[in-house]
Chains A and B, each alone.
Chain A
Amino acid sequence: MPGRWEHDLEIAVPVGFWPHRAGPLTIENGCLSEKTEIVYDLGHLDHYALEEALKWKDRWGVKVTVVSVGPETHEEGMRQALSLGADEAVRLWDESLESFFPSAAAVKARMLAAWISERGCLLVLCGDKSSGSGSGMVGRYLAHFLARPNLVSVIQIDPLSESKLKVTCRGEKGSRLIYECPIPVVLSVGRGSETRYPTLPGRLAARQAEIPVFNLAQLQVEPAEIGVLASYARTARLAPARLKPKKILTPDSSMSASDRMKMILSGGVKKKKGNVAEGSQGGAAQIYDLLRQEGLV
């Protein structure tokens, strides 16, 4: 592959450090309870984004830097990323952000954008949705602030040339959508191939690693701008998630009583007057014709 990448290309992987999906979690007075020993982990999809970046590192020796917007607790997660093979970790944080974290995707993206454009990372791979607020908006906002294209639900990234990528995304009905896009780009990575485990030397090195922190002033972001972006979404309170709502069959109230009963008895399927044939020979022939009409045989 193009030699330029071996030296120049740096992949930025924005990650988050959130309560583990299977760990304990309790809510008290509308906030996460401090009493529970919450187990934290890198965002579920951040693992996949990092894996894609590390695949590029394995193949072409590009540099992979993880960057996170979050309080000091996030450093543990960044060390986890370092132990998996990331080259460097950077944390962006300002104490003024505490009050509206983690709901403000726009704020996170603004800070990431400031750091990424300063650093000049051409390729940004982030998780499709964070395991925190899970809005899936950080990647979109980031692309917007950086004026770069953005593709979501990405599951495979292949280089076409020095400045072009072939990107495979998950589409509806289980299909795959394939795009060609230029570099620089922001790609939101979805659930893809298996992720790797950390190595022991990796873990030891990660323990020692220095994680620099940048605040708003260092990033040259105006607090007023952050204030506007933060006003977009505020957390009122948290509550234990109610049972997943599921659709049930409820007949339209405008229908007559007898129609409603018929609908309930049929399981919601409209009665049809299809023709019914008897006998296996004729039946098979009829189905065969129907399948032919549908273009299946």
Chain B
Amino acid sequence: MQIWVVVEGDDHGLRESSREVLTAATTVAGGVLAAAVVLAPDKENLVQEVMEFGPQTIYLHEEGSPSVTGEDYAEFLGELIERERPGLVLAAETQFGKGLLSRTALQYRMPIFPDCLGISQGPESLLFERLWYGERVSALLTSAAERPVLATWREGIVNVKKCPGLNSTVQKVRPQVQTLNLTRFLEEVKADPLTVDLSEAEVIVAGGGGMGSAAGFQLIQELAELIGAAVGGSRVARDNGWIPLKRQIGQTGKTVAPRLIISCGISGATQHTFGMRDAKKIIAINKDKNAPIFKIADAGIVGDVHEVLPELIKRIKEGKQNARPVGA
């Protein structure tokens, strides 16, 4: 059976959730993926990276634009599936992936299995594993329809593994974007950084054992409030009761992927860095110049957090004061 994957990209290239689906689909397909459909601009070697998963064909839409929602490509994908007749088409369970596949399923009358945890070969047809009854029961489902089947794969449950060595042929496509003007998008209101879930935060200030005490940890709070960041911490901070469990970053806490993380007084043990490996930019402050955190930091400051942070906070406050117009 031919298996396809629809991948997504963003400003930083191929999305992690798409890597996961590519890995999972290659396993389901028994090693050879029939095709990958790329509906994203080819930024940061995106196509090159998709090739490393070894799909035989890549349908590439070069002008993919981030403003187009998944639903808008439904007609294009539906037509492509009708023409090429793959057996199974997969995407990640993201807003884009689910929007695209569910609309395609509706318009082209194809079965869809959303949010799958696994797909295996059953006695007659494929078995799709989903969670039922508030995620407490695992249900194995099949489809008896003689149509291509669509499915989305849950995020964050597959270890990415590449399957290089095969050459893919790239076919450029130019999809007709069909927007359904039934609703009108008005605006997006960004989340309040102080209360947003840590795993969704854009900017994080994190503190560790080096903060010394709960009073010392107040510096982290203050800096976070000033720059509009979320507060996080290491296992040490959590064990000392400076932060609740939901604010802990690492193997036993949350996995975060912020645009910027400022690590203060955190040495950078593996258990902690595991939870922040997807951070785009890391700034580290630590008084031990041999701390492992410096090896992965984009900028490191060797110094005492109790001196650096107050100085930094002072500068930011001064900067804000100067920026304020006269008489305000």
Contact = CB atoms under 8 A, between A and B. Distances in A.
A279 B303 contact: yes
16 contacts: A18-B133, A21-B134, A151-B183, A172-B94, A175-B188, A231-B111, A238-B132, A241-B131, A253-B161, A269-B277, A272-B298, A274-B282, A284-B312, A287-B262, A288-B312, A296-B227
Contacts of B255: 247
Interface in B266-317: 269-274, 276-277, 281-283, 285, 289, 292, 294-304, 307-309, 311-312, 314-316
Given A234-B144, A245-B117, A253-B161, A284 B299 contact: no
A269 B141 CA distance: 38
Contacts of A18: 133-134
Interface in B13-35: none
Nearest to A106: B111
Interface string B169-202: 0000000000010111111111100001100111
Interface string A161-201: 00000110001111111111110000000000000000000
Interface in B130-165: 130-145, 156-162, 164
B21 to A, nearest CB: 13
B191 A239 contact: no
A284 B298 contact: no
A270 B303 contact: no
A297 B323 CA distance: 10
Interface of A: 18-19, 21, 25, 27, 32, 44, 103, 131-137, 140-141, 144, 148-149, 151, 166-167, 171-182, 228, 231-242, 244-250, 252-254, 264-272, 274-281, 283-288, 290-291, 294, 296-297
A89 to B, nearest CB: 23
Nearest to A277: B301
B260 A236 contact: no
Contacts of B272: 267
A278 B289 contact: yes
B186 A247 contact: no
A290 to B, nearest CB: 6
Contacts of B271: 267
Given A19-B136, A241-B135, A267-B272, 13 more contacts: A131-B133, A140-B102, A140-B103, A149-B183, A174-B196, A174-B200, A250-B159, A274-B297, A275-B300, A276-B299, A287-B283, A294-B260, A294-B281
Contacts of A281: 311
Contacts of B229: 296
B141 A176 contact: no
B300 A294 contact: no
A223 to B, nearest CB: 16
B296 A254 contact: no
Contacts of A296: 203, 227-229, 260
A27 B133 CA distance: 12
Nearest to B133: A19
Given A132-B132, A287-B301, A178 B187 contact: yes
Report, as a range, how many residues of chain B touch the other chain. 35 or more
A182 B229 CA distance: 37
Given A137-B102, A166-B186, A294-B259, A233 B301 contact: no
Contact of B283 (A181, A231, A267, A290): A290
B273 A137 contact: no
Contacts of A286: 299, 301
Contacts of B137: 25, 27, 32, 238-241
Contacts of B180: 149
A19 B19 CA distance: 35
Contacts of A287: 262, 283, 285, 299, 301, 308, 312
- 4 smallest A-B Cβ distances: which pairs? A174-B191, A283-B301, A149-B182, A267-B273
A27 B138 CA distance: 10
Contacts of A27: 137
B145 A141 contact: no
Interface string B226-244: 1111000000000000000
Quick one: which of A242, A244, A296 has the most chain B CB within 10 A? A296
Contacts of B73: none
Contact of A247 (B157, B200, B276): B157
A276 B145 CA distance: 61
A240 to B, nearest CB: 7
Given A247-B159, A297-B227, A21 B106 contact: no
A271 B303 contact: no
Given A134-B134, A149-B182, A180-B186, A237 B140 contact: yes
A193 to B, nearest CB: 16
Contacts of A253: 161
A218 to B, nearest CB: 25
A140 B106 contact: yes
